Structure 1
Amino acid sequence: MNCPRCDSTNIEKGVTIGKSAETGNVGPKFSIGIFSGVAQMYCDICLNCGEIIRFFIKENTDKKWIKTPGSLGSK
């Protein structure tokens, strides 16, 4: 895999992305009955220029993904 920005192959793969933030959890949201969950996200980073090359999850993708915004006033 090459970096699309600088063409380096010095890529760190599978770096964990923190999930907590002031407004709640960060990541793809899914429904579990009346509750919701957030999938742990990972990324690949170019160690030469800092470009984040891709985001991904490792867990099962067969979920009921929530596609509507979650905060009040959002469209």
Structure 2
Amino acid sequence: MKCPYCGSENILCNAVIDLHSGCGPLYRKGPVSLVSEWGVDFCLDCGTAVRFFVRGDLDRKWVTK
């Protein structure tokens, strides 16, 4: 994988974003909304986030509104 910004191949893959930030895709579990864990691949040379993704189970009741 190459960084689209600087062209480097020095990419850290599968880093976890801190869940305490409160950001991320929401899903419902009963009456409660929960935040799903994010992962990110980013360039170690320029800091560009190359890819964001949801970690774990994708078969959830996602909040879309």
User: Is the TM value for this pair above 0.5?
Assistant: yes
Which one of 63, 67, 71 corresponds to residue 64 of structure 2?
67
Give the match for residue 38 of structure 2: 41
Larger radius of gyration: 1
Which one of 48, 54, 58 corresponds to residue 55 of structure 2?
58
Give the match for residue 17 of structure 1: 17
* CA drift at 1:58: 2.1
Give the match for residue 4 of structure 1: 4
CA distance in 1, matches of 2:54, 2:32: 20
CA distance in 2, matches of 1:31, 1:4: 34
Which sections of structure 2, spanning at least 5 residues, go unmatched?
none
Identity %: 37
Count of residues in correspondence between the two structures: 65
Give the match for residue 29 of structure 1: 26
Higher RCO (CA-CA < 8 Å; seq separation 6+): 2
Counterpart AA for 1:36: S
What is the root-mean-square deviation in Å for CA atoms of aligned residues? Answer: 1.0
CA distance in 2, matches of 1:53, 1:67: 24
Please give the TM-score of this superposition, normalised by the length of structure 1: 0.80
Residue 58 of structure 2: SS of its match in structure 1?
A: coil
Residue 20 of structure 1: SS of its match in structure 2?
A: helix
